[in-house]
């Protein structure tokens, strides 16, 4: 429990040196115009003896706070022993110790067959590496990012960032990313994860392929569909079920209902039957039975 309270100062420091010599590309310093000189645990101190509770935490890089005594001592010992400060991707004792600890404490207890990838010193480097790796492994280009997320300012990460103003600063088109609504975007009654899962399960209709076929951005495609009073997810679901209804109405087709469900992106006949009944007010078996009855000259009741 924290009993110490913040003690902010009331006067701005002299910032002339920054105005003369530093780029104008600054953010946090504009909303927190103080000059800090030391930090420990969750506190940062300015040069006027002010004290501030640090909610930024280095954009989540300081999970143990500022200058944790255990981490600080380990760093001092490493430097005192002339440890390697930067070895690119060379083998080092420090890297070996890290990997062995990761394997022993994290991977093996969870039976995870993972490998570590050592990226650059910033979060955006990690995001760029993850995007490149995912595209290389899957062979696909489209990345799904969520509304209001911040992922970095380099081009790949920036394309995934939710802030349109920051994306606009790129100076070039940022493509191959579909921005999807995060949890709660449409209100508490709408399960956005379910909407996304339904869209992704379709084998032919997805934001990326359809937007590329139409020559528009995913955002433009979403806007165009929603202008008709229907979300993209609802449109895709309706088209899938209409396709399924047409297949079921083919009395001569030997395809089973389970196979039809799979062909339009459902992973089971139960979920398919529920969705079909919600859309058309009747079960897939009723449609199949009626089609075959009509073919055979029989009257089939499906109510």
pLDDT of residue 74: 95
pLDDT of residue 12: 92
Angle at 218 between CA 213 and CA 223, to 5 degrees: 110
What token pair was written down for 259?
């196979």
- Report how far residue 288's alpha carbon sits from residue 255's, in angstroms, rounded to the nearest whole number: 11
Residues sharing a CB contact under 8 Å with residue 211, sequence separation 6 or more, in sequence order: 178, 217, 218, 220, 221
Q: What are phi and psi of 114, to 5 degrees?
A: -105, 160
pTM: 0.50
pLDDT of residue 300: 47
pLDDT of residue 212: 63
Helix axes 269-280, 284-295, angle to 10 degrees: 80
Give the domain ranges of the chain: 1-83, 92-119, 122-180
Place of tokens 């935490």: 57
Q: Give every residue of the chain whose pLDDT is below 50, as ranges.
A: 213-214, 300, 302
CA distances from 274 to 189, 237, 266, 270, 277 (A): 19, 12, 11, 6, 5
pLDDT of residue 168: 87
pLDDT of residue 296: 79
CB 222 within 8 A of CB 233: no
31 alpha-carbon distance from chain centroid: 27
């Amino acid at each position: 429990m924290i009993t110490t309270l913040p003690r902010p100062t009331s006067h701005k420091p002299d910032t002339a040196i920054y105005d003369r010599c530093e780029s104008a590309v600054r953010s946090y310093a504009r909303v927190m115009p103080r000059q800090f000189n030391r930090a420990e645990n969750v506190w940062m101190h300015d040069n006027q003896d002010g004290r501030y509770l640090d909610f930024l935490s280095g954009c989540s890089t300081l999970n143990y706070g500022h200058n944790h005594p255990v981490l600080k001592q380990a760093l001092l010992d490493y430097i005192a022993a002339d440890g390697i400060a930067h070895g690119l991707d060379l083998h080092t004792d420090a890297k070996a110790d890290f990997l062995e600890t990761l394997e022993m404490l994290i991977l093996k207890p969870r039976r995870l067959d993972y490998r570590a990838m050592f990226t650059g010193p910033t979060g955006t480097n990690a995001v760029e590496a993850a995007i490149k790796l995912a595209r290389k492994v899957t062979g696909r280009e489209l990345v799904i990012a969520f509304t209001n997320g911040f992922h970095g300012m380099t081009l790949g990460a920036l394309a995934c960032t939710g802030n349109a103003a920051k994306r606009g600063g790129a100076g070039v088109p940022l493509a191959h990313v579909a921005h999807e609504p995060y949890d709660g975007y449409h209100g508490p009654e709408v399960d956005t994860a379910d909407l996304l899962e339904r869209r992704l399960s379709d084998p032919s209709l997805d934001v990326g392929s359809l937007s590329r076929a139409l020559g528009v951005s995913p955002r433009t495609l979403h806007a165009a569909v929603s202008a008709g009073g229907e979300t993209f997810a609802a449109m895709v679901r309706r088209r899938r079920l209409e396709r399924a209804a047409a297949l079921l109405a083919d009395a001569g087709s030997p395809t089973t209902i389970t196979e039809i469900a799979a062909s339009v992106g459902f992973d089971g006949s139960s979920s398919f039957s529920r969705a079909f009944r919600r859309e058309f007010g009747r079960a897939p078996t009723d449609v199949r039975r009626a089609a075959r009855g009509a073919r055979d000259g029989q009257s089939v009741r499906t109510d």
